Chains A and B, each alone.
Chain A
Amino acid sequence: MKELLTLSLTGIFVMLLDMFNFRKLVFPLVLLGLTMTISWSIFDWGINQEIFNMVKIDNYALAFTIVMCITAILWLIMSESYFAKLPVSTDRYALVTFALVGAFVMVSYTNLVMLFLGIEILSVSMYVLAGSIKNDLSSNEAALKYFLMGAFASGFLLFGIALIYGATGSFDTEYIRARASEMANLDNGLLTVGIIMILIGLGFKISAAPFHFWAPDVYQGSPTPVTAFMATIVKTAAFAALFRLFITSFISNTDVWADIIAGMIVLTLFIGNVVAVRQHDAKRMLAFSSISHAGYMLLAVLCLDGDSDNSILFYTASYSVATILGFTILSIIQEKTGSTEISAFNGLAKKNPNLAAAMTIAVLSMAGIPPLAGFMAKYYIFANAISQGFLELVLFAIAMSLVGVYYYFKLIVAMYFHESHQVDTEPRIIKTDSLQNTLILICCVLLLLLGILPQLVYNNL
């Protein structure tokens, strides 16, 4: 509970400070709030608190909260220089803090109403953030698209919740489990349609195919740090929420949703990876790669056994760090060259070898090459799925991750092989400030550390 209060109060204070022109205090205050949330989470570890039968702060919720707060701290450092150079100001600190409040509710709910509230708190903040460059057309377009699609998804979700209520008579996830398992063998239309509707609604949020089509445009149009936020924290929260719902409420109804999720996995992996190959814009490519990562994570949802929660936690953690690292470098490149095309990376190895090496680490981790965190993340999910008998799906996923290597390596080849062609207009050397260097170093170390000693995060739930 302290976590939720701390986050909410931080958000409110930040708004007030912003109003009374204490802008300089805002950044330290948010950092303090996030650090306190992390400390509370560690402090509360192992104590299962249930609050008004609405949220239950268990280890699952706390672990995801810690991961998201750490990602948020990295994100704040990353976005600092980007937003400082924007002509327009935004209330990003308050919005991000409120988004985290929503994310916290999404990972700790025990009541479907709370799930819906959490998603809405998170999403409303994101709609505003996506449009935070007021005078930029693509940013506005992204915000509008995101809002319309988000509203659409919320509709599905709400419809699903209502149907589930109709079938079981409750919003409580534990109670739903009891009723749903009784009905598992009866062909209950309300329950079946309800589950599918919820799956569709959450499918939008995790950008799984065939509900992914908003993602590329929104990712490309939003300001780069906001895209990074969507790809990391929003995705983490949405997956944690999806998994929490299915393992608590619908675990005995696998025959309703297992095939649907399997189909979504195949589609998501295929579309995410194959379409990414054709992209020339790095930001859009990362958007498709983000879609494909949802496919790998869905495999863990499909397995739904004792290790899946650990797998998802580890995958989101390693993916978040790699994504923050990748987008940090992308935003530096964007700032210096004015472009997010893959060709903007040309010759980076000569302009700034350290930046190129860091980008290589990020990309190799996303591609799942050992000894980086991304490899262990995929390994856990694949090994788990094979032991559950999903061998064909895993083989398909492995083939698709080979396709993934193809487009990730386009960036590496651009950095190390292609010469930068517009020598006159582009800077010869790209410089980074010390804050960025620290962030990049931390991310690289985290990726290596998680790759060599994954048990630091895995096996703790």
Chain B
Amino acid sequence: MLTATLIFFPLIASALMLFIGGDNTKRAALVFAIAELALFGYAALTFNSNPKAFSFSTPWLPFGANFAIAMDGISFLMVFLTSLLMPMIVFASFKGDYTNRFYSLMFLMQMALVGVFTAMDGFLFYIFWELALIPIYFICLIWGGEKRGRITFKFFVYTLAGSLLMLAGLLYVYLATPDDHSFAINALYEAGQNLTREQQGWVFWAIFIAFAIKMPIFPFHTWQPDTYTTAPTPGTMLLSGIMLKMGTYGLIRWLMPLVPKGWDSWGYTAIILSVIGIVYASSIAIVQKDYKRLIAYSSIAHVGLISAGIFSMNMEGLTGGMVQMVAHGINVIGLFYIAEIILSRTGTRQIGLLGGIRSVAPTFALLFLIVLLGSVALPLTNGFVGEFLLLNGLYQFANMKLSLWIVVLAGLTVILGAVYMLRSYQSMMLGETNKTTEGFSDLDNNEKILLTIVSILVITLGVYPKPLIDIATPAITELLKIFQAGLVG
């Protein structure tokens, strides 16, 4: 029941937001978001002692789809990320011109996201997956920047096409379940594993493309930079901080154990695509002049590494993937918030036009540096643990089956990431002030609070990532066991 509460509380909040107007809108939204986080905190206290309280199932549709939800370690981490980031995103939107309908859509989105991360039924998963798309589409369409009509439409069609493919793949497995077909996750696992290697390959691609578009992985990424750039900043934060993780989470839960042989046959291809994405996106990020676009491309590079690590199908890679998903969510929100601060102060995001901000805004420069170091994976920041585990996992896998060059190329994400991140920092923050940056005022209280929270998270999770790993491990062990059983059988 706890999980159901976590899903439906945002829905209630979303409905209530429609009736709240005027000055209290934003405060009310923050209260709702924090209440959800508190609910999650309460749930987390009992997570280890009472796992039964987290699963809930009731018959829903007569063709074998149940409203089945549950939470294991990896779902827990994703729901943690969602409930943690929502208050921050709402808080970050305080300066913007957003109405109650905006927050209503945000909470609808949160409901769908928690649903995606906890659904244990193929059909329910699909419904939540699609439901998450509608609010973010309207958030980007109504409150986005110029040319948003065309760009958001491209985004919508891309993701919708992907999810229809996924539905086709799930349906194929569903029809392979015994008579009185069922969408229950275990029934799907069993049916999927009984398919031949070739059939599994087809299902793999149908579902993988949906996830690859969401993350996005090269060559399905073309919607992403435009969408991230035009979306309003809270929308970008939702997209990159949480929504992207629907894809990476989906890989672990809905693809790896579902079609192990298909995964085994095509995993190399997926790794190669991910690594191409890393190198490609990092190279573009280096020459990028718009700071928000630079972060968008860096996000493609990071998620490429996460996906490559997950596809190395060992404990290190998968754990690293989970840790890095949480870390990336936190860091990228910090970075987009920083881009928003710079834009609102100077009216531009062009890196070349800025300079010397550090001398006029030292607090900002310090907090920016911490977030940035987390993003370039300096040891003792949260980015380091995840990337280290991911590369370690990829190394073990590549050592056995692929060329080591793949690992070297994937490792470029760290080096190139440092290059574009530090260069942009140097160009914007150091040196002499110019006309655009002379009047740059230092952070006000709200901004200080938010960036301090992000910085604290960056350092805490970097110094002490053990809780994250401990929570993820049992769930990953379980899924890996199912995966390996299917690989042999």
Contact = CB atoms under 8 A, between A and B. Distances in A.
Contacts of B273: none
B166 to A, nearest CB: 12
Q: Is the interface of B mostly helix, strand, loop or mixed?
A: helix
Interface string B157-182: 10011001000100110010000000
Contacts of A398: 164, 168
A181 interface: no
Given A370-B131, A454-B61, A455-B62, A349 B142 contact: yes
- By size class, the interface of chain B is 20 to 34
Contacts of B62: 455, 458-459
Given A405-B160, A409-B153, A369 B171 contact: no
Interface stretch (A5-13, A40-48, A79-87, A413-421): A413-421
A371 B171 contact: no
B131 A406 contact: no
Nearest to A383: B171
A322 interface: no
A25 interface: no
Interface in A343-368: 349, 353, 364
A369 B130 contact: yes
Interface in B232-267: none
B8 interface: no
Interface string A434-455: 0000000000000000000011
B131 to A, nearest CB: 6
B141 A405 contact: no
A413 B130 contact: no
A276 B63 CA distance: 33
Given A402-B160, A402-B161, A405-B156, A416 B142 contact: yes
Interface residues of A, number: 27
A90 B131 CA distance: 44
A29 to B, nearest CB: 38
B148 A417 contact: yes
Contacts of B61: 454-455
Interface string B120-142: 00000011001100100010011
Contact of B101 (A353, A418, A454, A458): A353
A395 interface: yes
Contacts of B352: none
B157 A402 contact: yes
A26 B101 CA distance: 42
B474 interface: no
Nearest to A364: B134
Task: From A370, A406, A418, A459, name the one whose CB has the most chain B CB atoms within 10 angstroms.
Answer: A370
A338 B109 CA distance: 37
A416 B171 contact: no
A425 interface: no
B138 A416 contact: yes
A375 B138 CA distance: 19
B149 A417 contact: yes
A260 interface: no
Contact of A369 (B63, B134, B141, B168): B134
Contact of A409 (B101, B127, B131, B156): B156
Given A353-B101, A409-B153, A413-B149, A370 B141 contact: no
A386 B174 CA distance: 11
Task: From B62, B160, B161, name the one whose CB has the most chain A CB atoms within 10 angstroms.
Answer: B160
Contacts of A395: 168
A370 B172 CA distance: 19
Contacts of A406: 153, 157
A175 B130 CA distance: 48
B175 A387 contact: yes
Nearest to A307: B63
Contacts of B171: 382-383, 386
Interface in B45-91: 61-63
A356 to B, nearest CB: 10
A269 to B, nearest CB: 15
Given A369-B130, A405-B160, A417 B141 contact: yes
A-B complex: 4 closest residue pairs judged by Cβ atoms: A417-B149, A370-B130, A370-B127, A413-B149
Given A364-B134, A413-B141, 6 more contacts: A370-B127, A370-B130, A386-B171, A398-B164, A412-B141, A417-B149
12 contacts: A364-B134, A369-B160, A370-B130, A386-B171, A387-B175, A402-B160, A406-B153, A409-B156, A412-B141, A413-B141, A416-B138, A416-B141
